[in-house]
Amino acid sequence: MQYYKPLANGEKGCYASHIHVWRRLLASDAQAMVVLEDDVRLHADFSEVIHGIARIEQPWDMIKLVGRSREKVQMQRPLVAGHSLIRYARVPSLTAAYVISRAGAEKLLRTRVPFGRPVDVDLRFWFENDLHVFGVLPAAVSLDDTSETSSIWQQRSGLTLPQRWRKLCMKLQLAWGNARARQPQLPQL
């Protein structure tokens, strides 16, 4: 078991929808795809950020467009006016908005099907498949008010002692992987 408890139906459905999008990207001629969940609000400069990402010349796998107000950043460089491309100290779990490249979709489909963790948690384990995950700061997308109520969170309940142990082990595995893995350099713009 990869996760500390069985996945809720909502978590399975959410992951399946991301897999469907990754497959659609690979079935197309596109080099990358913007993925947006249904509970996001695009900022006024969203289009400018997407055009900035399109100008990146070096390979990348995923660029998160949504984030927390205070991200742990290891490195950053200007992307477009008012936004930086960042390398995270620890990849955040948010998956409501990102851009994925063909290479990123190929890596995820090769290593994440079948899946055993929620998609947002699974992407934090980037070191398991050498997924090059970057972000945009400040974010170009934010969660809207509907994100406050989630069918997935409603299905969660108290944890048993074995589940708490598995959760601790998963957190230690994540911390160890982040500490020992070599993160990719920021792509040149």
pTM, to two decimals: 0.88
Could you please state the CATH topology (level 3) that the domain comprising 9-180 is classified under: Spore Coat Polysaccharide Biosynthesis Protein SpsA; Chain A (3.90.550)
Whether 99 and 57 have beta carbons less than 8 Å apart is answered as no
Distance (Å, whole) CA 95 – CA 180: 24
Name the nearest CA neighbour of 64 among 48, 84, 78. 84
pLDDT tens per residue across span 120-172:
999 999 999 999 999 999 999 999 876 555 555 444 568 899 999 999 999 99
Over residues 179-185, the mean pLDDT reads 79
- Angle made by CA atoms 135, 118, 72, in degrees to the nearest 5: 30
The pLDDT, as a whole number, for residue 129 is 92
pLDDT tens per residue across span 29-73:
999 999 999 989 999 999 999 999 999 988 999 999 998 777 788
Task: Place 185 in a pLDDT band, splitting at 50, 70 and 90.
Answer: confident
The pLDDT, as a whole number, for residue 182 is 76
